[in-house]
Amino acid sequence: MGLRDFGERRRVPGLRRDELAQLAGVGLSYYTRLEQGLSLNASPEVLDALARALGLDEVERAHLHDLARASRRTGTRRRPAPERAGDTTQQLLAAFGDAPAIVLGRRSDVLAWNRTGHALFAGHLDPHIPDQPDQRPNTARLVFLDAHTRDLYVDWPKKARDVVGKLRLAAEQHPDDPRLAALIGELTMKSPEFAGMWSEHRVRKWDLATYRMHHPVVGRMQLNLQTLNVPQEDGQRIVVVTAEAGTGSAAALSLLARAGGPSGVQSVRRAGRTEAAGSPRHGGGQPVRGER
């Protein structure tokens, strides 16, 4: 659903300030104070009216309410505590077995991963690097600044926008996190694509996403990434990867699970070539039923 058309030609699309106030049913002077940050007491009803006038979806509406609550906070805010994957989170990570899984923090830092999660997302990095807080890989930084990760996602623009949307939500929820602010500044300076997407002010919150990926060892796959929030850990989540049973993607994940260091990678490559020669349906992650 688009914004209401007031029947006038204008140089740029969108609503004028008086038109938005009219659609939301509030006075122009009151809306102007809200827009300028001079009034901090907008009621939930007024915010909902503005969301309807702007055609916001559920995630954007929730983000608007979060921004209003943040503006009302007073007093000294405590900086977020250092992050770590707790013992129960590590146990849950291990319980996923060969399914690729990683634990992400509020800044999208990798706090932990299982063996296949490392092989899928960052096999070119030291598998023990999440144990070093100052050296942890960050998924946003990898997506925008790491050539290996960029090549991994066939749907790179989709993945990039999802990353930016998540990061904008995190920035609102943790406004006093200096490392988060530094990350956003770094990406803005180093990646024009990030800067452009960040300026769009879009928020995204996804629990399930499907991406086409091309792994350098096992080839092309279509994978489902499902996000599970970690209880009692502010902002932490586990991302688990699956593929449709009986497809080349599922076979490719099985091959990837057999890799364990350089020798394992070489054996997987040989196995992929052997399976490709013997069974076109499952060779090297080639698409089969339902995949493109």
pLDDT tens-digit map of 132-180: 998 999 999 999 999 999 999 999 999 999 999 989 888 888 888 889 9
pLDDT in tens, 70-96: 555 555 555 666 789 999 999 999 999
- Looking at residue 267, its pLDDT comes to 47
- Overall average pLDDT of the 97-105 stretch: 95
Whole-prediction pTM value?
A: 0.68
- Looking at residue 184, its pLDDT comes to 92
pLDDT in tens, 201-235: 776 666 899 999 999 999 999 999 999 999 877 78
- Looking at residue 73, its pLDDT comes to 55
SS3 sequence, the chain?
CCCCCCCCCCCCCCCCHHHHHHHHCCCHHHHHHHHCCCCCCCCHHHHHHHHHHHCCCHHHHHHHHHHHHHHHCCCCCCCCCCCCCCHHHHHHHHHCCCCCEEEECCCCEEEEECHHHHHHHHCCCCCCHHHCCCCCCEHHHHHHHCHHHHHHECCHHHHHHHHHHHHHHHHHHCCCCHHHHHHHHHHHHHCHHHHHHHCCCCCCCCCEEEEEEEECCCEEEEEEEEEEECCCCCCCEEEEEECCCCCHHHHHHHHHHCCCCHHHHHHHHHHHHHHHHHCCCCHHHCCCCCCC
Compute the distance between CA of residue 58 and CA of residue 64 in angstroms, rounded to an integer: 10
pLDDT in tens, 223-276: 999 999 998 777 899 999 999 999 999 999 999 998 754 444 444 455 445 444
Q: What is the mean pLDDT of the chain?
A: 78
Q: How far is CA 50 from CA 80, 107, 182, 202, in A?
A: 31, 29, 32, 16
Q: What percent of the chain has pLDDT over 90?
A: 48
Residue 122 vs residue 290, higher pLDDT: 122
Residue 4 in this model has a pLDDT that exceeds 70: no
